[in-house]
Amino acid sequence: MCQGAHDAFPDFTTKFEGRVHWMYVDVKGLVTTGIGNLIDLLSAALELPFHHNDGTPVTPGEHYRGGE
């Protein structure tokens, strides 16, 4: 990918995907995060190091926010 496309990708994609800081299930039922980044394996998703704004790690029960 050329540098210009690389640099433009986040802003371009955010218009269509939105931007979130947690995992969610998309319209196809796939676990996703960020700006539409697919997390293919649930086991991999649960190992991602999500943190609260104060820097404390999220608990396993906090990994998913449905409908937000």
26 domain-assigned: yes
Task: Provide the domain count of the chain.
Answer: 1
38 domain-assigned: yes
Burial bucket for residue 4 (CB in 10 Å: 0-12, 13-18, 19+): exposed
57 domain-assigned: yes
What's the confidence (pLDDT) of residue 66? Answer: 47
8 domain-assigned: yes
19 domain-assigned: yes
Which range marks the domain in which residue 45 is found? 3-62
List, for residues 3-20, the tens digit of each pLDDT value. 998 899 889 989 888 888
52 domain-assigned: yes
**pTM (two decimals):** 0.59
d(CA 13, CA 52) in angstroms, rounded, equals 24
67 domain-assigned: no
List of long-range contacts for 60-65, beta carbons under 8 Å, 24+ apart: 63/22, 63/23, 64/22, 64/23, 64/24, 64/25, 65/22, 65/23, 65/24
If DSSP codes are grouped into helix, strand and coil, which group holds residue 48? coil
68 domain-assigned: no
